[in-house]
Structure 1
Amino acid sequence: MRKTSLALAVAASTLGLSQVAFADLVGDTKVSLEARNFYFNRDFREGTGQSKSEEWAQGFILRMNSGFTEGTVGFGADAIGMYGFKLDSGDGTAGSGLLVPDRSGGSQDNYSGLAVAAKAKVSKTTLRVGQMQFKNQAIGSSDGRLLPQIFRGGNLVSQEIEGLTLDAGYLDEVNNRNSQDYEDMTLNTYSFSGIKFKGLNQSNEFIFAGGNYKLTKELTAGYYYSNLEDMYKQHSFNLVHVLPLGEKQSLKTDLRYARSTDDGQSNVDNKAFGAMVTYALSGHSFGLGYQQMDGDTGFAYIGGTDPFLVNYVQIGNFAAKDEKSWQARYDFNFASIGIPGLTFMTRYLTGDNIDRGTGVSDGREWERNSELMYVFQEGALKNLGVRWRNATMRNNFSRNIDENRLIVSYTLPLM
Structure 2
Amino acid sequence: MRKTSLALAIAAGTLGLSLSQVANAEFIKDSKASLEARNFYFNRDFRQDGASQSKREEWAQGFILRMDSGYTEGTVGFGIDTIGMLGFKLDSGGGTAGSDLLVPDRSGGSQDYSSDLAVAGKVKLSKTTLRVGSMQFKNMAIASSDSRLTPQVFKGGQLLSQEIEGLTLDGGYITEVNNRNSSDFEDLSMTTGGRRGITVTGDKTTDSFQFLGGNYKVTKDLTAAYYYSNLEDLYKQNSFNLVHVLPLGEAQSLKADLRYARSTDDGRSNVDNKALGAMLIYGLAGHSVGLGYQKMSGDTGFAYLATSTDPFLVNYVQISDFANKDETSWQARYDFNFGSVGIPGLTFMTRYLTGDNVDLGAAGDGKEWERDTELMYVFQEGALKNLGVRWRNAMVRSNFTNDLDENRLIVSYTLPLF
TM-score (norm 1): 0.96
Deviation of residue 21 (structure 1)? 7.0
The aligned counterpart of 1:322 is: 326
Contact 1:47/1:399 (<8 A) preserved: no
**Sequence identity (%):** 74
Deviation of residue 189 (structure 1)? 1.6
Q: Are 1:229 and 2:232 counterparts?
A: yes
The aligned counterpart of 1:397 is: 400
Q: Are 1:82 and 2:85 counterparts?
A: yes
Contact 1:387/1:407 (<8 A) preserved: yes
Q: Indicate how the Cα distance of structure 1 residues 335 and 264 shifts in structure 2: closer, same or farther if over 3 A, else same.
A: same
The aligned counterpart of 2:350 is: 346
CA distance in 2, matches of 1:265, 1:232: 8
Deviation of residue 19 (structure 1)? 2.8
Contact 1:125/1:156 (<8 A) preserved: yes
Q: Are 1:273 and 2:241 counterparts?
A: no
Task: Give the SS at the match of 2:102.
Answer: coil
CA distance in 2, matches of 1:276, 1:217: 19
Residue among 136, 151, 158 paired with 2:161: 158
Gaps in structure 1 of 5+ consecutive residues: 1-9
Q: Are 1:139 and 2:148 counterparts?
A: no
Q: Cα deviations across residues 195-231 of structure 1 (Å, max 9, x unaligned)?
A: 0011121010000000000000100000000000010
Contact 2:245/2:256 (<8 A) preserved: yes
Task: Give the SS at the match of 1:186.
Answer: strand
The aligned counterpart of 1:189 is: 192
Q: Are 1:245 and 2:248 counterparts?
A: yes
After TM superposition, list the pairs within 5 Å mapping 1:65-214 onto structure 2: 65-214=68-217
The aligned counterpart of 1:3 is: none
After TM superposition, list the pairs within 5 Å mapping 1:255-334 onto structure 2: 255-303=258-306, 304-334=308-338
Amino acid at match of 1:196: T
Contact 1:384/1:410 (<8 A) preserved: yes
Q: Cα deviations across residues 265-287 of structure 1 (Å, max 9, x unaligned)?
A: 00000000000000000000000
CA distance in 2, matches of 1:298, 1:199: 20
Contact 1:12/1:22 (<8 A) preserved: no
Q: Cα deviations across residues 240-291 of structure 1 (Å, max 9, x unaligned)?
A: 0000000000000000000000000000000000000000000000000000
Q: Are 1:335 and 2:339 counterparts?
A: yes
Q: Cα deviations across residues 308-358 of structure 1 (Å, max 9, x unaligned)?
A: 00000000000000000000000000000000000000000000000001x
CA distance in 1, matches of 2:262, 2:390: 35
Task: Give the SS at the match of 1:15.
Answer: coil
Q: CA RMSD in A?
A: 1.2
Gaps in structure 2 of 5+ consecutive residues: 1-11
Q: Cα deviations across residues 107-150 of structure 1 (Å, max 9, x unaligned)?
A: 11111100000000000000000000000000000000000000
Contact 1:286/1:329 (<8 A) preserved: yes
Amino acid at match of 1:344: F
Q: Cα deviations across residues 360-405 of structure 1 (Å, max 9, x unaligned)?
A: 2200000000000000001110000000000000000122000000
CA distance in 1, matches of 2:15, 2:97: 48
CA distance in 1, matches of 2:15, 2:201: 53
